[in-house]
Amino acid sequence: MQFIEATYVGNFIDKQMLFDVFDEVNRYFTENNIDVRLVYIGPLKLAPGYLVSIKTSNGTLRAYPLEALIETLYSRLLQDIKELIEQREGDDTGIIMNKILALTTFPLISRNPYFDFYEKFLGYHETITNLRIMILSTEPFYSEDIENFKMRLFKGVLHEIGHSFGLEHCSGECVMNPPGTIEEWDLRPPTYCDRCFLELKRNAEYDPGLKF
């Protein structure tokens, strides 16, 4: 079984909504016989100094620099992996864990000028020494209709997890098909197309990851 650590950063007013999304993702993987599960590890604490204000044509935005978020997520995952190694006492537990996913209420910003967060509905992912870091800002997915909001996020999480197992973008009826607008995202089915599904299943089974 592959475990993906799941956490959040920022001030979620409705935390139950997040847990519902994580539960939905786990239900999806269980029902489709994919050996991947999200494991909620509690909120991620970032030093308050990291939060910055940036001026845009739409007013002032508060955000965490992407680099600070990635660093904090990487350290947390590394620390938890070390604990897993200490606890297993030599036995192979069958657990694979090398991924962490964070949802954040803040828009993602970066010093990288090529990273245009206004045009990116979907998240950010990076691999550092075999460890996979995924970040999804909930902001572009917001809807006053809570069920719609959850559905958009659910698909966003599936999209990021797809990337984390080596899936590229797809042009089919599929969560791996990136939207140009949020309306387009609403039209995507809440699942992978057959081709992406099979690739995900194969990679989730054979990804050597980090075994404990």
- Does position 101 interact with Zn ion (CB under 5 A)? The reply is no
- Does position 135 interact with Zn ion (CB under 5 A)? The reply is no
- Does position 179 interact with Zn ion (CB under 5 A)? The reply is no
At 151, the amino acid letter reads M
Which residue number, 1 or 198, has a Cβ lying nearer to Zn ion?
Answer: 198
Beta strands in the chain (DSSP E): 2-9, 36-40, 52-56, 59-65, 96-104, 108-109, 124-128, 131-137
Which residue number, 150 or 163, has a Cβ lying nearer to Zn ion?
Answer: 163
Site for Zn ion in 148-177 (CB under 5 A): 170, 172, 174, 176
Give the one residue of 117, 193, 203, 210 binding Zn ion; rule: CB under 5 A: 193
- Residues 26 and 160: their CA atoms lie apart, in Å, by 14
CB 166 within 8 A of CB 133: no
- Does position 108 interact with Zn ion (CB under 5 A)? The reply is no
Give the one residue of 6, 34, 96, 122 binding Zn ion; rule: CB under 5 A: 122
Cβ neighbour number for residue 83 with a 10 Å cutoff: 10
Residues forming the active site: 160
At 198, the amino acid letter reads L
**Contact residues for Zn ion (CB under 5 A)?**
122, 170, 172, 174, 176, 193, 196
